[in-house]
Amino acid sequence: MISTSFVRGRVLGFVFLLSVVTYLDRICIAAAAPFIMEDLKLTVLQMSVVFSAFTLAYSLFEIPTGWLGDTRGPRQVLTRIVVWWSAFTMLTGAARGLASLVVIRFLFGAGEAGAFPNAARALSRWFPARERGRANGVLFLGSRVGGMLSAPVALFLLQRIGWRASFVVFGAIGLVWAVAWHAFYRDRPSEHPGMSASELAWIEQDGARPEVTATPWRAIFASRSLWAICAMYFSFGYGLYFYFTWLPTYLIRVLGFSLLAGGLFAALPFVLAGIADVLGGLVTDRLAATRGLRVARCGLGFCAFLGSAFLIFASTLSVPPVAKAVLLALSLASADLALGACWAVCLDVGADHAGVVTGCMNTFGNLGGLVAPMVVGLAVERWQSWTVPLYATAVFYLLGALAWLLIDPLRRIDRAPAE
C-alpha cells in the first residue's frame, strides 16, 4: 500500500477527482453524439471532425502547458486548466452548427491540454520513486471511473434535460474542483500547513528535489527513449479514442443494443480498465523492486499492448454482439494494465523535467486520438465498414508493443549524454 498521511492522502484524492472530472467532460460528447448529429444535421464524417478538433488542440498545447507545470508549478497551472475547460464544456451546449461546435471543442481541447502532465508532476513532488507506479495507477483509475460514469450519466441527463443543458451540468463540476484545489494544494510539500516532519522525510527519501532552473531541450529531443515513448503512446491514444468517441454509437447503431444496454456496455471498458490501472500500478512497482525498471516498464508494457492487439482483432470475428462488446472492453483493460508504467517511465526518464516529457508523450497520444475518429468516419462513409477501423487499431497496438522494447528507463535525460 502507498504510505500516506492525511495530507498525502488528500493530494492523491484531489488528483483522482481531477481525473474523474476530466474524463466526464471529455467523453460525455460521445454519448451525446447521436443527439447532436440529429439536432445539428451532422454526418458521421462531420462529427468525426468535431471529435478531432478537441484532440488537435489538446496535442498542440500539451508540451507548452507541461513546461508551465515544470516552471510555475501544478497549483497555479491546474487551476487555470480546469477553469478554462469547464467554461468551454458549458459553452458546448450553445453550439448552433458545425462551425461553432468545432471552434468550441477546439478551445475546450486547448484548455484541457496539460492536465495529466501537471497531475503527474504533482505526484512526482509528493510521492517517492518507489510509489509512483501505484500513484499513477490511482490517477488513471479516476479517468476510467469518469469514463465509466460518463455514458450512463450523460444518457440519463440527455433524456431528462437534453444535450445542451447536460454540458452545463458537466462543466459546473470542474469549477468546484478548481476552487478547492487552489485552496488546498502546495507545490512544495514542506510549505503545506498540515505537513509533519516524518511525512516530509518519507517524501524526500530519494533526496530533496532541486528547483528547476533550465529545461535541457536539446537533450530531451535527442533522447531515443523519448521518441520511443511518444511512438508507444501514439498507439495507445489511437486505440483509446475509439472508446472516447464512437463506442456508444457502435454499440447502439451497429451492434443493435438498446439505449440502456448500450450505455452499460459503453461503461464496461472503463470499469475493467480502472481495475487494470490499479493492478498495473501495483505490478510495475513490484517488478521495479524485484526485477528492475526494464522489466517493470518495458516488459509489462509490451505484454499489455500485445494482448490488446489480439483482443481487439478477436472482436472482429463472427461472434455474438455481447461477445464483441466484452472483447472490446477487455482490450482497453489490457492496454490500461500498462498505463501506470507509461506515466512512471516518463518520471524515470524525465526526472525534474517530467512535465515536458509527459507533455511530449501525451501530445503524441492525442495525435493518435486525432487520427482515430477520422479513420472511423472515412471508413463508415466511404466503405460502410466498422471492421476496417478495428483492424487498424489492432495494428497500432502491435506497433506500440514493439516501441516499448526501444525505451530505456534507466537513462535519465538530466544525467546521461544525449542518446
- Residue 198 belongs to a domain: no
Q: Which domain holds residue 317?
A: 6-189+217-404
- Residue 71 belongs to a domain: yes
Distances (CA, A) of 354 to 289, 405, 414: 21, 21, 11
**What would the pLDDT profile of 156-166 be if each residue is shown by its tens digit?**
888 889 899 99
**What would the pLDDT profile of 215-271 be if each residue is shown by its tens digit?**
788 888 889 999 999 999 999 999 998 988 889 889 988 999 987 888 889 889 988
Number of other residues whose CB lies within 10 A of the CB of residue 256: 10
Q: What is residue 55's predicted lDDT score, i.e. its pLDDT?
A: 83
Q: What is residue 396's predicted lDDT score, i.e. its pLDDT?
A: 96
- Residue 417 belongs to a domain: no
- Residue 199 belongs to a domain: no
**Grid coordinates belonging to 108:** 475546450
- Distance of alpha carbon 352 from alpha carbon 362, whole angstroms: 17
- Residue 367 belongs to a domain: yes
- Residue 75 belongs to a domain: yes
- Residue 19 belongs to a domain: yes
CATH of the domain at 310: 1.20.1250.20
**What would the pLDDT profile of 85-97 be if each residue is shown by its tens digit?**
899 999 999 999 9
**Grid coordinates belonging to 134:** 501505484
Looking at residue 406, what DSSP letter applies? T
- Residue 409 belongs to a domain: no
Q: What is residue 207's predicted lDDT score, i.e. its pLDDT?
A: 66
Q: Look at the chain and report how many structural domains it folds into.
A: 1
pLDDT bracket for residue 24 (50, 70, 90): confident
Q: What is residue 412's predicted lDDT score, i.e. its pLDDT?
A: 84
Q: What is residue 2's predicted lDDT score, i.e. its pLDDT?
A: 46
